Structure 1
């Protein structure tokens, strides 16, 4: 029996297999009655669960470099093909060495590429799409052992349905991502900005840097911390212009009172993109995993009403919260992406009291779902999977695609089984 990273979920799979070749992978997926890919186990629900065999592709060798830059002519948007099981921190280090960069990173560099892409996981930034938005191609092994390459250019009819796929189409072995020339970033943290100033100037504040994250526990009298990650040229860049901001003079952690040594460098010290865009350093485990996470993604146009609703819930949710984060994400066209327009994410890092958390989540959802919120695919919510399906206009098309790729339903289990059974 094995568990997810947080330890709040024990998987149902009877074994884990880590094939080292495509041939071994084909043998596993064709022989198993039920099979699903497993990434870095950073999901907090059973979206990756199966009653059969879990497959990890982090040591799979298909004869190509694990980080393979396909376009090395210096083009603005070169393409890199990566082993789907690699963690973003590993990909970013290899890519940076070639002079290229990813346009976005999540808070944790410890998550696997395929797992993050399949669940529409994201970073932050007004102009930055989720990690899934960088995908231009996928190689997927079907339950029948057939390896398919699907690209945006060659398969425009189905590509948008294959990226955020929740693992329901097969085992992804490689992911092709757009890249940009490498760049430097500085990180500055503003503290104790009054809520009125934050909401009155929301657009200006969230666009004041390349990536911006605001932290609160919702009962705070002011926005506790706002992390600004700004592109920095040869001059090292400048502190963003944020009226009323008081800038931190010592490093901080997203969780109040926690040692910030695991965090990426702050205080305006410029460094490579892959050492700043994530909140945490790859070489550190940001916590022991003793937490539960939820997240709700909603249209940016409703942010003021959503913040006001959450502040009214502050006295109820704050005793269960380690911290909560507000981020912006650009829109995309992927069928199961919650970002079909400019969006805001409300992320909740809860104390490891899941029963108590589940008791308060209906209040959070009653406040946010009428404003267009959708739960993150890989985090804890109390929304019925059938109701989640109804939140996506192209879900019927996705169901048909899943039936086509997996007619026997061998890739279905856990949350995905319930989602597609409705």
Structure 2
């Protein structure tokens, strides 16, 4: 059977079978009654072979979300296959919110958590940082529950599908809030490099966009949480608010973008860059991303800018975001406030394959960590050098899955599974 490809077509799955589970019990039966490799598949928004297997793929996106709200604990428990935008709407209707969202509300909660996907904000952890508990089906089909505070929990949250199939998650929530989104153009590079934390901390969530070879930073999106941050003015650090006829982002359809121009709106309609009811992002693209300590961020940007003439012809855009430090073992922001340097490339595999090692070499002095779901060329030794808890995570995964049912070529290549 043809299982298809990842969202942007950057990897075609080689699995022999795909099970579209409609219940947790079906996932349990699959693992209890069969042998051989199994991997969980989410909404396919990855760019490498992380989710693939020589055996069976199982997706939980058709299992009912069945959200359960606990207002006293300030948590929601929900099926792992639900899309963030759908969960956000359900929460908002009841007066609750998530701490942050990624740029795409179309991605599944389970997949985003498992790969360390993130939004932005100096005080906002990655999406997985909100996980208070999870349920997963292990190698023998047994349903297990783990919660914050239990041994190994920090290693299981961003688990890369390496130990089981996560079927439900419990997330921290907070009262709903209002956000406005203002886009500034023409920020001098000197303003960004001289005070990177100041620029990236100028709102609840801030993203900067560049193609590296411009005289000024192309755009800065400031998402201001009303009542928390100062409201933006018409000019800022030498930049200006965009005009209505400038609204847009590279090749993206402007109608697919969330509302800008300082219009106040609910958090779920401002924190993502793209609207749930439109086709997300560009699609025909390749993505790479690296995480460096925020304190090294300005120097890391200078190092990458030295390659600007070679990068720009093959790039759609780079987005810069920030993450607060967390304690999740395989997080890009493990124990350090972080600058995320994201590249959305034109669909030119050969050119990207030639550029990524050069970018990684430029970022190596800063201990850059790769995004697990995106294209990179770092070796197992290089990944182990920047992830101090990787060996501990591998021991945990091996203990939970000693026969290697959830291992695959990607995890072995990076030393995440033996």
Superposed pair shares fold, TM > 0.5? yes
Tell me, in whole angstroms, the C-alpha distance in 2 between the residues paired with 1:132 and 1:34. Answer: 26
CA contact (8 A) 2:133 2:169 kept: yes
Residue number among 55, 63, 74 corresponding to 1:60 in the alignment: 63
Tell me, in whole angstroms, the C-alpha distance in 1 between the residues paired with 2:208 and 2:40. Answer: 33
Backbone CA RMSD of aligned residues: 1.7
1:75-154 mapped onto 2 (5 Å cutoff)? 78-153=74-149
1:239 aligns to 2:228 (yes or no): no
Q: In the TM superposition, what whole-angstrom CA distance separates every residue of 1:142-187 from its partner, at most 9, and x where no partner exists?
A: 010111110013x1x2110110110011000001100010001000
Query: Deviation at 1:66?
Result: 2.2
Tell me, in whole angstroms, the C-alpha distance in 2 between the residues paired with 1:239 and 1:180. Answer: 24
* Structure 1 outlier segments of 4+, above 4 Å: none
Residue number among 204, 209, 214 corresponding to 2:203 in the alignment: 209
Worse-superposed segment, 386-395 or 214-223: 386-395
CA contact (8 A) 2:398 2:417 kept: no
Residue number among 154, 160, 165 corresponding to 2:154 in the alignment: 160
Residue number among 37, 47, 58 corresponding to 1:44 in the alignment: 47
1:401 is aligned to 396
2:26 is aligned to 24
CA contact (8 A) 1:186 1:237 kept: no
SS in 1 for 2:383: helix
1:380-399 mapped onto 2 (5 Å cutoff)? 380-399=375-394
1:279 aligns to 2:278 (yes or no): no
CA contact (8 A) 2:212 2:305 kept: yes
1:270 is aligned to 264
1:223 is aligned to 217
CA contact (8 A) 1:160 1:333 kept: yes
Q: In the TM superposition, what whole-angstrom CA distance separates every residue of 1:85-112 from its partner, at most 9, and x where no partner exists?
A: 1111111011111110000100111111
Aligned length: 411
SS in 2 for 1:409: coil
| Structure 1: stretches of 5+ with no match in the other structure | none
Tell me, in whole angstroms, the C-alpha distance in 1 between the residues paired with 2:48 and 2:96. Answer: 34
SS in 2 for 1:379: coil
1:188 aligns to 2:202 (yes or no): no
1:355 is aligned to 350
1:8 aligns to 2:40 (yes or no): no
1:378 is aligned to 373
